[in-house]
Structure 1
Amino acid sequence: MSDTPTVTVQPVDARHRYEIHVDGVRAGLTAYRDRDGRRVFFHTEVDDAFAGQGLAGRLVEEALTDVRSRGMRIVPVCPYVAKFLKKHHEFDDITDPVTPDVLAWLEARLA
């Protein structure tokens, strides 16, 4: 029997987010809205009970890999996603800059 937890990342399109689960318990999420073939990530969180386990990085990496597989692009409004992308250049080819237009659109969508 292994003590290694089972970690899964799942898209939850109906709620506009990806969730990471540890042994079936939701440990965190990264939220987005879609605009013109771009997935605009605006918030990432991991529950304090799961902090320090590298879950946020795994969550974002798997979410961005899913975005690529869907033929979409990434807009990193979320500070964590932006920081992740500075260290993971394998996503540079599908990353678009955050612009005032995107920020205004996102604010209106979330209002």
Structure 2
Amino acid sequence: MSQPSTAATVRRANAKHRYEILVDGERAGLTAYRDRGEQRVFYHTEVDEAFAGQGLAARLVQEALTDVRASGKRIVPVCPYVAKFLKRHEEFADITDPVTPDVLQWLETRPG
């Protein structure tokens, strides 16, 4: 796996309910969420094929979860990639909530 581009930046796009990773100004990937009270429920992560293998998904999720911590919210990892990331990064365990049937049912009723 090659190293992520140093020109990659992560930004939160509140209106679109997602974090985006940009490489040289071009959106290379995203992780989508919905806020449920004090929880930020992550339900989808993707990196465009042209940017695959550069470690961008890990960088994107790392920065998104760091932002969640800074905001005082908690993480709910419905997205399989985010869940896998959290298993390898125990530093977020203290702010991670389990995925429950209530959360899944709530997520199904959200637009988008």
Range of TM-score over shorter length? over 0.9
Cα distance in structure 2, aligned partners of 1:76 and 1:86: 11
**Identity among equivalent pairs (%):** 74
1:80 alignment partner in structure 2: 81
SS of residue paired to 1:29: strand
1:64 alignment partner in structure 2: 65
Cα distance in structure 2, aligned partners of 1:56 and 1:27: 9
Q: Deviations over 1:31-78 (max 9, x none)?
A: 000001100000000000000000000000000000000000000000
1:95 aligns with 2:96: yes
Cα distance in structure 2, aligned partners of 1:5 and 1:19: 15
2:12 alignment partner in structure 1: 11
Question: What's the C-alpha RMSD, in Å, of the aligned pairs?
Answer: 1.0
Cα distance in structure 2, aligned partners of 1:99 and 1:51: 31
SS of residue paired to 1:68: helix
SS of residue paired to 2:22: strand
Instruction: Give me the TM-score of the superposition, normalised by structure 1.
Output: 0.95
Moved over 3 A (4+): none
Cα distance in structure 2, aligned partners of 1:110 and 1:91: 28
Structure 1 portions without partners, runs of 5+? none
2:37 alignment partner in structure 1: 36
Give the CA deviation at 1:110.
3.5
Query: Contact 1:44/1:80 (CA < 8 Å) preserved in 2?
Result: yes
1:104 alignment partner in structure 2: 105
Cα distance in structure 2, aligned partners of 1:39 and 1:110: 15
SS of residue paired to 1:64: helix
Count of residues in correspondence between the two structures: 108
Instruction: Give me the TM-score of the superposition, normalised by structure 2.
Output: 0.94
Structure 2 portions without partners, runs of 5+? none
